[in-house]
Structure 1
Amino acid sequence: MSRPIHWGLLSAGNIVGQFARDFAVVENAVIHAVAARNGDIASAFAREHGIAKAYEGYEGLLTDPDIDVIYIGTPHNLHFEHAKAALEHGKAVLCEKPMTVTPKECEELQRVAERTGGYLMEAMWTYFLPPVQTALRWVQEGRIGRICQIKADFGYPQLPFDSKKRVYDAKLAGGCLLEMGVYPVALAWLFMKQDPTEVQVVSRHAPNGVEDDLAVLFNYADAVATLGTSFRCKLQNWAYIIGEEGYIAIPDFWRAREASLYVLDDRVDHFVDERATDGFHYEAQAVTNDLLAGRAGSSVVAARDSLAIQRQMAMIREAFCDDV
């Protein structure tokens, strides 16, 4: 392809705004259009970010012949529908996490991608952040030995409770598991690449029954992961990868800017990402590069990764559903 990759944004919400701001440093690509249900909102978003086209509704974006790839940032429960439509219109898809709300939906969406020959990737932007990639390399190099424990949590207060808020709305797949818990689950999968043999969950629930605080234990054959997520309180939001010979600490791992390697009490290595952006451009650049190279999918967030994350979140949900 001789011209830059043309992106379309399906939604003009907050996370899409962050994505658009970071896109300024993406090479060989341009955001060509944005679509929102409200045309005035789409137009205002386009003006703010210097985007050529704005569509009221999504059909114009899906059928725009100049668009190569669509980034989907709608509520969780709409991801399947919108990603499926984009693939069937011949567009590559980068879909916000969680890509779907059930493993069944994930499998079906991946079948659509296979049938249409389309590119489909979940926007697990944390996987692309250099500190996380550095931590993964340290583990692969054997610098902490065999992994014994993983600790990761992600939580911010979403108070006061309001059943009309998107994050609490069961009809919109609300709840802290899909909204925030996807991050620690994905982090554990990245380093373990296996399902737990046992899942234990302590759950708390909002007045409408939606889970708003979870403490999760994944028991593997020879390791454990303790994971947490919450709408009730601010958690530490760090990740620790603990091995027999050392450990790695990643502050604010979901948006990581640094990682440290420790042996006992001594920090023996330290990586800092001096980026001026939030970090969404790393995944956007990776997708752009994949499309320019004609790759069928991502090697960083592969289909098996997205399906595993869905499968493990379903295991968590099954473990706490009796508590509701």
Structure 2
Amino acid sequence: MNEKIKWGIIGPGRIARAFAKGLSYTSNAELYGVASRTLQRSKDFANEWSVPMAFGSYQELAEEKSIDAIYVATPHSEHHDAALTCMRNRKAVLCEKPLAVNATQAFSMVQEAKKQEVLLMEGMWSRFPPLMEKVRQLVHEKVIGEIRLLQADFGFMPKDLDPAGRLFNPSLAGGSLLDVGIYPISFSSMLLGMPIDIETIATLGKTEVDEQASYLLKYESGAHAMLHSSICCETSQEATIFGTLGSIRIHKQCWRPQKITITNHSTEKQEIIEMPFNGNGFNYEAESFSDLLLSDKKDSDIMPMQESLEIITLLDRIREKWGLRYPFEKN
């Protein structure tokens, strides 16, 4: 394999542009190919980002021998099929979150990765910036004691309210849960594991997707997580971890962490730590994934396949409580 991983991108949309920009800040990766179902769309993206190869189908990119890894940046509903196409051609896959729309799909993807002996990882990019690594370290060292409560939210007001668009279209697995709710839920999983009990409520909009939802999770340790997601209003977009000795607050846009405040509850002393991105944030997961591939590793310690399976299973349980199924799940 080359010293630099040659990347391909499937689905040249907004998130693909963010990933392409992130790749430009890495030391071990380069963008080499792009695929869309429309060749002209691929060519336009290739021209925009100086990508050597453009393809008019996902299959063609997957079969291209010079490509080492593929970033799947399609709508949620297409993650499963696109990732399988890549892995069946022995390509490593970084699949934008959520890994799939349900546990059945996710399980088949993990099984295919094991069968083909290729690297598969969910693109939960918020886990990879240096400050999130610092948060994990502080929690592990019990700087704030034992975690008792985690509060986190991600809500925003979309500019595009098109009912046929990816956010509001149930056929594309739209809604707040899979788009932004997965961030606080994955965050709680990273710190507390899987809950032993869940309570949840959601508001379904005119298109029958969850426009906002609240989640209350209880853990074996006795800790609770209070989480919220919304695509109908902007929320504080912060996360706070409360422990027996203190707290850690991740400031606004907590999913792209660059500033935290650590508070000691007995002394009321506060410490602020800031770690601005070197790049746009996507570079950290791209660099980590490329390192794994160069080291011939088949799983990530930061975002393991098993944890992604557990998270999507939890999301299934949440949707079941709402009575929400996507149209393609009803057949």
Asked if these proteins are the same fold (TM beyond 0.5), I'd say yes
Flag structure 2 segments of 5+ consecutive residues without an equivalent.
325-331
Residue pair 2:59, 2:85 contacting (<8 A) in 1 also: no
2:286 match: 284
SS of alignment partner, residue 134 of structure 2: helix
Specify the code of the residue in structure 1 equivalent to 2:114.
E
What are the ranges of 5 or more consecutive residues in structure 1 without an aligned counterpart?
A: none
Alpha-carbon distance between aligned partners in 2 of 1:305 and 1:40, rounded to the nearest angstrom: 37
Deviations 1:45-83 (A, max 9, x none): 111111111111222211100001000000101100010
Aligned to 1:113: 113
2:328 matched residue in structure 1 = none
1:7 corresponding residue in structure 2? 7
Q: Is the 8 A contact 1:149 1:225 kept in 2?
A: yes
Distance in 2 between residues matched to 1:3 and 1:192, nearest whole Å = 37
Deviation string, structure 1 residues 158-181 (Cα, Å, up to 9, x no partner): 367532121111111111111111
Report the equivalent of 2:189.
Answer: 189
Counterpart position of 1:85: 85
1:194-247 deviation per Cα after TM superposition (whole angstroms, max 9, x unaligned): x22221112111112211010111122301100000111001110111100000
Q: 1:16 to 1:236 in 2, by over 3 A?
A: same
Question: TM-score, normalized by length of structure 2?
Answer: 0.94
Rounded to whole Å, the distance in 2 between the matches of 1:284 and 1:267 is: 36
The alignment yields a C-alpha RMSD, in angstroms, of 1.7
In structure 1, what residue type is equivalent to 2:42? A
On the 8 A contact 1:121/1:297 being kept in 2, the answer is yes
Question: Residue 150 of structure 1 aligns to a residue in which SS?
Answer: strand
Give the structure-1-normalised TM-score: 0.96
Q: Give the SS at the match of 1:247.
A: strand
* Secondary structure, aligned partner of 1:254: coil
- Offset at 1:148? 0.3
For 2:308, which of 306, 310, 318 is the aligned residue? 306
Asked if 2 retains the 8 angstrom alpha-carbon contact of 1:159 and 1:232, the reply is no
Aligned partners of 1:57, 1:312: CA distance in 2, in Å?
33
Task: Give the counterpart letter for 1:14 in structure 2.
Answer: R
- Return the letter of the residue paired with 1:171: S
2:271 corresponds to 1:269: yes
Shift of the 2–64 alpha-carbon distance from structure 1 to 2, 3 Å rule, reads closer
**Paired letter, 2:199:** Q
Report the counterpart of residue 235 of structure 1 in structure 2: 235
Residue 329 (structure 2) aligns with:
none
| Separation (CA, whole Å) in 2 of partners of 1:180 and 1:2 | 35
- AA aligned to 2:168 is Y
AA paired with 1:259? Answer: I
Q: How does 1:122-133 map to 2 (within 5 A)?
A: 122-133=122-133
8 Å CA contact 1:132, 1:253 repeated in 2: no
Return closer, same or farther for 1:159/1:7 CA change in 2, 3 Å cut-off. closer
Rounded Cα–Cα distance in structure 2 between residues aligned with 1:10 and 1:233: 30
Match of residue 317 from structure 1? 319
In 2, the alpha carbon distance for the partners of 1:276 and 1:297 equals 25
Q: Say if 2:86 and 2:93, in contact at 8 Å, map to a contact too.
A: yes
User: Identity percentage over the alignment?
Assistant: 30
- Alignment check: 8 A CA contact 1:159 1:231 kept: no
Q: Which amino acid aligns with 1:162?
A: D
Between 1:52-61 and 1:11-20, the stretch displaced more is: 52-61
SS of the residue corresponding to residue 262 of structure 1 reads strand
Does 2:260 match 1:259? yes
Distance 1:302 1:104 in 2: 17
Who is 1:48 aligned against?
48
Tell me which amino acid in the other structure corresponds to 1:202: I
Question: Alpha carbons of 1:47 and 1:315: their partners in 2 closer, same or farther (altered >3 Å)?
Answer: same
Pair 1:165-2:169 in alignment: no
Superposed CA offset, 1:13-61 (max 9, x none): 0000011012111112211111112222211211111111111122221
Q: Which residue is equivalent to 2:154? A: 154
Partners of 1:160 and 1:109 in 2: how far apart?
Answer: 31
Runs of 4+ in 1 over 6 A off after TM superposition: none
State the distance in 1 between where 2:80 and 2:111 align: 12
| CA–CA distance in structure 1, aligned partners of residues 92 and 75 of structure 2 | 19
Distance in 2 between the 1:14 and 1:279 partners?
Answer: 15
* Contact 1:134–1:271 (CA under 8 A) maintained in structure 2: no
Shift, 1:2, TM fit: 4.2
- SS of 1:255's partner is coil
SS in 2 for 1:54: strand
Alignment partners' CA distance in 2, 1:268 and 1:213: 33
Query: Structure 1: which amino acid aligns with 2:66?
Result: D
